[in-house]
Chain A
């Protein structure tokens, strides 16, 4: 009797604690949302849109690296595919931007399915190398294809009218549209991770043979996660094309796949907000340095940041904060 009582009280205590944690998380999200809503009045909107696009890209990448344990070295291919398809459609056909973005995303999903089917059969370094090889194929295809404009890139893509009547040439309208897309993508990732499906993904990350022995079709789970991630990367690329009105080879280059790894690592692998913080940090740093007196040193400084991150704080900015909070405010 007494035992069950303590047990139930312990249960309620745990529930309370969980509720409190949820409440805290909701507050954090609301604060972040409020910041995002007023940000374009405080900072330069085009730069903020760039951050949002890359934050979405990094979050998508984090879904496979942080939650499924797959290090993809070919995510640039999805970013570029989304961008090029959207850019081509908007430049050559009279369609509204949202249709262009959806089509670009679908193209990335199809490419992601193909990549995924080929690559998820292998693990670790082999997986990374296969994705890299496939992405290089895609890079050389875009380099040679006529419609991409080769190394000049696809330029002067019209932003157009959202739903046919909202003029996206207005940076504020564009910003809130990008913010909406980002939130949609972020919510999708958040739901994926906190669903039973996400639990299985984490199980696979922690111990793949055990997940198999429990009867899960591991390959199918990995494939779905990979395709979601590819689709969201494509969405980020499509949106980026509309924002900058161009799609270029830089997006397909393997440097881009490396940059997204850097963003995710610096922010915190396997944390929900980590990639967002990472993207903001890396982009702000390069942006500030590019216009400063030490501009020539951008790449060196980024390299040092990367090394420092790997050596000193492996969990990334958000990961370390979480660790610190757990240790001190429990």
Chain B
């Protein structure tokens, strides 16, 4: 069975290379499909503003590549892998989409990339966190751009230990995702000479975190880490704010926490939390200039996902322009050949497993006294250099990585 699969893959690969020889933009249009959660939990993470970022990229590129029109269509994935799978299939078969952008919930992204695998279209993943997307679920048809859980867990932990936070208490969501985050953090903390004092597990979608937070407070640990996501992290942070963890001298570290979450909670509640981000709108001149344009259109500051969508789309369109082709294999090769130098990152590059490697940042949420306006939320504590930020290829389980 495995052999047949290998032979088939080889056959498909040869067929694709043969097709690529006559590189051209098919159907006289470059069609981009934006698939994201437009109505549910992750609406603020990517959602309608992500579509706006995509449109900005298309407009800034001039609306055409080599004289061929760039067309953007979009759909709501409703956080359902079924919907994602059928939408992407339909886009490939009926709408002849060349690139799929957005891609938020990890189940949605994996479903979409499985459909993309072997087609002529490429997926640029920005919303998803799961590092498995470029590990065991890697395909030659997608690139993971803005961030993933590996730096979120590892860099947050090692940076905080380096700042002196040796004793950790971890609040973990009780399922595979939380367990793996907890393990990642534990490995790094112990490697760097710290200690995990205790952990506590809570079920998915818990509303009342007070008993967990009180345990964390009573443990006397220097650092309280939240190995959970989404609504659970938000609730943990609110409760930690209510019990005054930061004020009582404990460092609060959220592993999966985004600009829109901080904005929604406000600096009063979220102050002092340390987190890792792939990008921050106020990090440098280029980022500020772009986010000013974004702000004018959406009345909100972009998060790293929005910036990633813009950056990846620009990089994609440049590759299409350079090669004169919208074939996934050709474009992907070109994208990997050129470095990413834009408002998102300087010197970013795409690895063979599809991971775009770039600097990450350890940030701390400002206190109400420091914050000058509603979007002035982070101060960058330190830069995590690109090379140490992401999972090293030597640990990769991706089949595309040659060993």
Q: How many residues of A contact B (CB 8 A)?
A: 32
A76 on interface, CB distance cutoff 8 Å? no
Within 8 A of A (CB), among B141-178: 174-177
Question: Is A295 a contact partner of B75 (Cβ separation < 8 A)?
Answer: yes
Question: Is B81 a contact partner of A297 (Cβ separation < 8 A)?
Answer: no
CA distance A94 to B2 in the complex (A): 11
Interface string of A289-325 (1 = CB under 8 A from B): 1110001111100000000000000000000000000
B156, chain A: closest CB distance, angstroms: 21
Q: Identify the stretch in A6-14, A23-31, A239-247 within 8 Å (CB) of chain B at 4 or more residues.
A: A239-247
B391 on interface, CB distance cutoff 8 Å? no
A5 on interface, CB distance cutoff 8 Å? no
Question: Is A44 a contact partner of B90 (Cβ separation < 8 A)?
Answer: yes
Question: Is B39 a contact partner of A250 (Cβ separation < 8 A)?
Answer: no
Question: Is A248 a contact partner of B90 (Cβ separation < 8 A)?
Answer: no
Question: Is A46 a contact partner of B74 (Cβ separation < 8 A)?
Answer: no
- B106 contacts which chain A residues (CB < 8 A)? 151-152
A221 on interface, CB distance cutoff 8 Å? no
CA distance A250 to B87 in the complex (A): 17
B204 on interface, CB distance cutoff 8 Å? yes
- A248 contacts which chain B residues (CB < 8 A)? 80-82, 107, 111
A-B contact count (CB 8 A): 101
Given contacts A44-B90, A155-B111, A295-B38, whether A246 and B82 have CB atoms under 8 Å apart is yes
A50 on interface, CB distance cutoff 8 Å? yes
A150 on interface, CB distance cutoff 8 Å? yes
The residue on A at minimum CB distance from B106 is A152
CA distance A244 to B87 in the complex (A): 11
Q: How many residues of B contact A (CB 8 A)?
A: 39
The residue on B at minimum CB distance from A256 is B80
A199 on interface, CB distance cutoff 8 Å? no
- B74 contacts which chain A residues (CB < 8 A)? 291, 295
A156 on interface, CB distance cutoff 8 Å? yes
B1 on interface, CB distance cutoff 8 Å? yes
Cβ-defined partner of A153 (8 Å) among B40, B43, B93, B107: B107
The residue on A at minimum CB distance from B132 is A152
Question: Is A150 a contact partner of B177 (Cβ separation < 8 A)?
Answer: yes
Given contacts A44-B94, A47-B86, A151-B177, whether A250 and B80 have CB atoms under 8 Å apart is yes
CA distance A166 to B231 in the complex (A): 45
A224, chain B: closest CB distance, angstroms: 31
A249 on interface, CB distance cutoff 8 Å? yes
CA distance A237 to B75 in the complex (A): 24
Given contacts A150-B175, A244-B86, whether A286 and B114 have CB atoms under 8 Å apart is no
Question: Is A50 a contact partner of B86 (Cβ separation < 8 A)?
Answer: yes
CA distance A290 to B80 in the complex (A): 12
The residue on B at minimum CB distance from A298 is B39
Cβ-defined partner of A152 (8 Å) among B48, B76, B110: B110
B202 on interface, CB distance cutoff 8 Å? no
Within 8 A of B (CB), among A222-257: 240, 244-246, 248-250
B263 on interface, CB distance cutoff 8 Å? no
B89 on interface, CB distance cutoff 8 Å? yes
The residue on A at minimum CB distance from B180 is A150
Q: Identify the stretch in A120-128, A138-146, A185-193, A272-280 within 8 Å (CB) of chain B at 4 or more residues.
A: A138-146
B46, chain A: closest CB distance, angstroms: 13
Interface string of B53-83 (1 = CB under 8 A from A): 0000000000000000000011111111111
CA distance A248 to B82 in the complex (A): 8
Question: Is B75 a contact partner of A290 (Cβ separation < 8 A)?
Answer: yes
B203 on interface, CB distance cutoff 8 Å? yes
Given contacts A146-B176, A152-B130, A155-B114, whether A244 and B39 have CB atoms under 8 Å apart is no
Cβ-defined partner of B81 (8 Å) among A50, A146, A153, A298: A153
CA distance A295 to B43 in the complex (A): 11
B96 on interface, CB distance cutoff 8 Å? no
- A291 contacts which chain B residues (CB < 8 A)? 73-76, 87
A81, chain B: closest CB distance, angstroms: 16
The residue on B at minimum CB distance from A149 is B176
A39, chain B: closest CB distance, angstroms: 15
Cβ-defined partner of B90 (8 Å) among A47, A94, A150, A155: A47
- B43 contacts which chain A residues (CB < 8 A)? 296
A138, chain B: closest CB distance, angstroms: 14
Interface string of B295-316 (1 = CB under 8 A from A): 0000000000000000000000
B288 on interface, CB distance cutoff 8 Å? no
B137 on interface, CB distance cutoff 8 Å? yes
The residue on B at minimum CB distance from A286 is B78
Cβ-defined partner of A46 (8 Å) among B76, B90, B114: B90
B277 on interface, CB distance cutoff 8 Å? no
Pairs of residues from A and B, 8 with the lowest C-beta to C-beta distance, nearest first: A150-B176, A290-B76, A295-B76, A153-B107, A248-B81, A291-B75, A295-B38, A155-B110
19 pairs from A and B in contact (CB 8 Å cutoff): A47-B90, A140-B203, A144-B175, A151-B106, A151-B107, A152-B106, A153-B81, A155-B137, A244-B82, A245-B85, A246-B81, A246-B111, A248-B82, A250-B107, A286-B78, A290-B87, A291-B74, A295-B38, A295-B75
Having A246-B82, A248-B107, A291-B75, one finds 12 other A-B pairs with CB under 8 Å, namely: A46-B90, A50-B86, A140-B204, A143-B175, A144-B175, A150-B177, A153-B111, A155-B81, A244-B81, A244-B82, A291-B87, A296-B76
